[in-house]
Structure 1
Amino acid sequence: MCGKYSKGGNVPCGMNLCCSATGWCGTSELYCVNGDPQGNTLPCQKGFGSCEVKKGRTCGLDSGTTNGRTIGYYQGSNTRDRYCNQMRPQDIDSTGYTHLYYAFSSIDPKSYAVVAVDPADVALYTEFTALRSRGLQTWIAVGGYDFSNEGDTHKTWSKLCANSRNRAVFIRSLQDFMAKYGFQGVDLDWEYPVAPERGGTEQDTENFVLLVKEMRFAFGMDYGISVTLAPDYWYLRYFDAKAMERSVDFFGFMAYDLHGYWDKDVKTLGAIIRGQADIRDIANDVVPLWFAELDPSKINLGIALYGRGYTVNDTSCNTLGCPFKGASKPGACTHTDGILGLAEIEDLVTTKGLTPKYLPDAIMMELTWDDQWIGYDNADTIARKKGWGDSQCFGGTMAWSVDFASGGYHVG
């Protein structure tokens, strides 16, 4: 809660959202103006965030702002984890990309030095950075979702950010790592600060800002810095992105994985089919960025090169809004419940003679067969999402991940 009803009576809303009269953070007039529009007895609490509805900038659908940067993540782990469709760095079709990110490197939980996730990654680093050219930069992404799962590195981000000595050790190690392997920048993928279930502490918000500022001071303009932002406000509220803005080259907004089979355990959602990258959800989730008054030209819109799917309860109801009983069946290559790479989806369309369906309200595709449902983006919906991003003045896109689309799949 926020304002006078919060712990200590002084907690503001993260990302500068409005604090309602009853102590909840939100973005609508009920939070930002008055919760009682007729009697005006429930005004926004001033001093704990905005008390004004904020809207982002507007640019034309054909403004082309998202063409400013086209970033593609590459999962080095695909070379050892995939059953088929493996992609080495030398096999990446970099056409149209301005940046490629190697995902991920890890951090030693004791020394705070940057290290490989797996020894096999080391041999891939220089193969990856050899792709760099005048128009293409190669960066390293540090962390990732699994890094903050329960285990040895569960609290590593919080601990390394907790004091200036640990931050300095990390920064020096990162500089040495990038110089050794030829990386030109770093993407900080902390998922997520403060959240206790992700190993966080209340001090993370301020300490993350300090880390980024100290990195920029140490790097000068020798290396680039980007920060990945959570897509949902539950985690996004703990980022002080505005305080980081001058120190980073840009931010990445993960506009994917918004829904999945895990929804069945969320009381407010339940086991109902929802798209993982429905434009209606994305449009709602980006609003806090405008309350924080972030420059949209420094934000990259996330694009998914994979689909999320479900096994439905009843084959007669197999679309958005229908009940599901579990994740979709694993693909032959990714071999993971609830997910299919674009290469696998395209293969299913061909081998099973399936017809994908476009869902205009969601700006996404759906594919159904037997008791399976997959929602995903193809070249057409990606172009349409980029058009929406252009209307919001986003400065670029970032795709997760190029190895899901073997054979070349261009976002740019």
Structure 2
Amino acid sequence: MLGLYAGQQINQNDALSALGMFQGQISDQAARQAVQRLIPGNDISVKPTSSSSRSLSQREDTCKYIQAQLGDGCYLLAQRCGILRSDLESYYGGSSFCNTVQVNQYVCCSSGSPPDFSPKPTDGNCYVYTVETDDTCSSIATAHQEEVSAIESNNGQTWDWAGCAPPFPANVPNAVCGPQVNDTTLTSDPSSWSGLNPCPLNACCDTFGQCGITSDFCTAAPADTGAPGTAQPGSNGCISNCGTDVITSAAPTSFWRVGYYETFNYERPCLHMAPSDIPDYYTHVHWAFSDITSSYEVDVSAYQDIVNQFLLTAGFRRILSFGGWAFSTDPSTTPIFRQGHNLDGVDFDWEYPGAPNIPGIPPGSPEDGANYLAFLKLMRAALPSDYTISIAALASYYYLKAFPIAEISDIVDYIIYMTYDLHRQWDYGNTFTQSGCPAGNCLRSQMNMTETEQAFSMITKAGVPTNKLMMGQPLYGRSFQMLEAGCYTAMCTYTGPSSGATSGRCTQTGGYISNFEIQEILANDSNVQQYSSSVAGDILVYDDDQWISWMKQSTYDSRSDYAKGLNFGGTSDWAMDLSANYSGSGGGNSSDGGEGSGVVYIDPSIYSQSAPTIA
């Protein structure tokens, strides 16, 4: 399409304006100079006024005027006014005015002052304007005959922009924190609004009313106005409980090493440990797991011989651990823990109270967390004072938020904090499990240090002292089948939904492989590459497409030192029987410290022999 324009004293702006090709652009420059991020539906203050005061203030020197339309420049405005362009420019001090015209602006066609349609004060209250989609500071000021600076100064206290007697923030239907949650009660003090409806665990609340523990939710980044409830473009901002610092407590009297002993380890074809093989560097050993009968009796009958051996051990505290949730808050259940079991404490591993979405398990109740706390209080009251009580807790905001964890930490002696399994096969297809990976199928470390530090911040901000936390350390790897050989970094992907990872010869579970089996791969497989970083820990790639996130001894030691530096109470291993195959005769020496009579490695072919012997 060809357009021509002819006239005297031609300039480019007039030509484009006359041809209708300058639509929307003339006003854009001015709008960009005063754009704020405004949320549609929010109420802002324009000027102290009554709601009915919008009439023209007649002044003797008011000029004749028109309103600018989309695409207007000085040429079209002068044409519609019926005057020369030079006369129009003279009313505004020169031609620079032509580049700042905005849609709906009142423009003088004669000498005199522009008409004054600005709201007029009568009772000191704000004239409230509800922000609409695509509104800017400039467009609102223009529509109400105000300067942008006046709009800004009038709204210094208005939520999500700036306020003179500011209106309460508008409701956001999906908000879960902050003042914009459904049915929030109005309060008169604007300075308190950001703290309304705080997140569980004292997690961060962003400007969109969502809770989280990452820097996306926890970084306060107010707009240039400095107004509450705002964020810089591209940022979520933060309005309450901001920051990701770890809050450290006083140092513990001693640094413990807790370990879980898998009672069922003899059910594997290899990788066995007898109670007498437990290394002496453990201070607390958790027997995993005991059952509870329907009559509330402790049931260890399936492993009675091994239990008897365990009760004869010495040198560490012996703790009976209960997995899942099979308890009642009835006080009559508590004697089962203190009668006839030569033990030093109990541990409860109910990891998903209140969880609504665990496959194959009935949805949890919102009362689960409170019931759990009540149960632990009953246990503490009933058990001897020298018995320890501990719980395990996931390092996940989604699951931990159901725990009244600060109150629980007042009752228990310590908390096993499971800072592993941060990523595993079940991430596949989950939009929310991996940052920057919406399909959830990226190769991510199961003990990513950045996420671990965020988890430390979460639980300590929630009120748990670090000296009651045992940092979880995995003695196994999480394994995946790489979708593309040679692509092993954090944005590379794995197969799914079912695991394509090669099973270990002992653990025989795709996606889960013991440190013992990993060491065998390193010793026997020629097609192996190893990678390490302070964030991801250790990565093993073998057989072209097999990828394992695990922790070798030097990484284990450095993370233990890190926990000591934060005044943690100690570390906790899952599980002590995953790092060496013992003879079952006692002593034992594994890949993660301790001294004893040594490790005996048994070829799995022995299990197919009719009369096996070991020389």
Report which stretch shifted further, 2-11 or 308-317: 2-11
Check conservation: 2:482, 2:494, Cα contact below 8 A.
yes
Indicate the SS of the match to 1:226. Answer: strand
Report which stretch shifted further, 302-311 or 270-279: 270-279
Q: How do 1:12-411 and structure 2 match up within 5 A?
A: 12-27=198-213, 36-39=222-225, 40-42=227-229, 51-53=241-243, 55-57=245-247, 68-80=255-267, 82-92=268-278, 94-108=279-293, 110-116=294-300, 119-133=301-315, 136-143=316-323, 147=324, 156-157=326-327, 160-161=328-329, 166=330, 168-176=331-339, 180-198=340-358, 199-268=363-432, 269=434, 270-326=440-496, 327=499, 328-353=501-526, 357-362=530-535, 364-370=537-543, 371-406=545-580, 407-410=589-592
**Superposed displacement of residue 171, structure 1:** 1.8
**Superposed displacement of residue 4, structure 1:** 5.1
Check conservation: 1:96, 1:410, Cα contact below 8 A.
no
Structure 2 CA distance for aligned equivalents of residues 73 and 356 of structure 1: 30
User: TM-score, with normalisation over the residues of structure 1?
Assistant: 0.83
Check conservation: 1:305, 1:341, Cα contact below 8 A.
yes
Indicate the SS of the match to 1:238. Answer: coil
Structure 1: gaps spanning 5 or more residues:
149-155
Report which stretch shifted further, 247-256 or 63-72: 63-72
Indicate the SS of the match to 1:196. Answer: coil
Structure 1 CA distance for aligned equivalents of residues 430 and 364 of structure 2: 21
Structure 2 CA distance for aligned equivalents of residues 104 and 206 of structure 1: 24
Indicate the SS of the match to 2:357. Answer: helix
**Superposed displacement of residue 355, structure 1:** 5.3
Indicate the SS of the match to 1:139. Answer: strand
Structure 2 CA distance for aligned equivalents of residues 395 and 297 of structure 1: 4
Indicate the SS of the match to 2:410. Answer: coil
Check conservation: 1:230, 1:236, Cα contact below 8 A.
yes
Identical pairs, percent? 28
**Superposed displacement of residue 26, structure 1:** 3.2
Indicate the SS of the match to 1:245. Answer: helix
Structure 2 CA distance for aligned equivalents of residues 319 and 43 of structure 1: 36
* Bigger Rg over Cα: 2
**Superposed displacement of residue 120, structure 1:** 2.3
Indicate the SS of the match to 2:484. Answer: coil
Check conservation: 2:247, 2:461, Cα contact below 8 A.
no
Report which stretch shifted further, 227-236 or 362-371: 362-371
The structure whose residues are more often helix, as a share, is 1
Check conservation: 2:579, 2:592, Cα contact below 8 A.
no
Indicate the SS of the match to 1:265. Answer: coil
Structure 1 CA distance for aligned equivalents of residues 242 and 539 of structure 2: 38
What is the letter of the counterpart of residue 271 of structure 2? N
**Superposed displacement of residue 186, structure 1:** 0.8
Indicate the SS of the match to 1:310. Answer: strand
Structure 1 CA distance for aligned equivalents of residues 505 and 217 of structure 2: 48
Structure 1 CA distance for aligned equivalents of residues 386 and 419 of structure 2: 29
What is the letter of the counterpart of residue 318 of structure 2? T
Tell me the number of residue pairs that the alignment of Structure 1 and Structure 2 aligns: 378
Q: Over residues 352-403 of structure 1, what are the superposed CA-to-partner deviations in whole Å (9 max), with x where a residue is unaligned?
A: 1465624223252111112111111111000111122123221100000011
Q: 1:281 to 1:175 in 2, by over 3 A?
A: same
**Superposed displacement of residue 52, structure 1:** 4.8
User: TM-score, with normalisation over the residues of structure 2?
Assistant: 0.57
What is the letter of the counterpart of residue 409 of structure 2? E
**Superposed displacement of residue 196, structure 1:** 2.5
Q: 1:339 to 1:247 in 2, by over 3 A?
A: same
Structure 2 CA distance for aligned equivalents of residues 390 and 70 of structure 1: 11
Q: 1:32 to 1:376 in 2, by over 3 A?
A: closer
Structure 2 CA distance for aligned equivalents of residues 330 and 30 of structure 1: 37
What is the letter of the counterpart of residue 368 of structure 2? D
Structure 2 CA distance for aligned equivalents of residues 286 and 411 of structure 1: 26
Q: 1:33 to 1:362 in 2, by over 3 A?
A: closer
Q: 1:393 to 1:50 in 2, by over 3 A?
A: farther
Structure 1 CA distance for aligned equivalents of residues 198 and 333 of structure 2: 30
Indicate the SS of the match to 1:324. Answer: coil
Indicate the SS of the match to 1:182. Answer: coil
Indicate the SS of the match to 1:181. Answer: coil
What is the letter of the counterpart of residue 256 of structure 1? Y
Indicate the SS of the match to 1:187. Answer: strand
**Superposed displacement of residue 338, structure 1:** 0.6
Q: 1:277 to 1:27 in 2, by over 3 A?
A: closer
**Superposed displacement of residue 182, structure 1:** 1.7
**Superposed displacement of residue 410, structure 1:** 3.4
Indicate the SS of the match to 1:246. Answer: helix
Q: 1:29 to 1:277 in 2, by over 3 A?
A: closer
Q: 1:191 to 1:411 in 2, by over 3 A?
A: farther
Q: Over residues 219-262 of structure 1, what are the superposed CA-to-partner deviations in whole Å (9 max), with x where a residue is unaligned?
A: 14131101111111000111112112222111110011110111
**Superposed displacement of residue 83, structure 1:** 1.6
**Superposed displacement of residue 173, structure 1:** 2.2
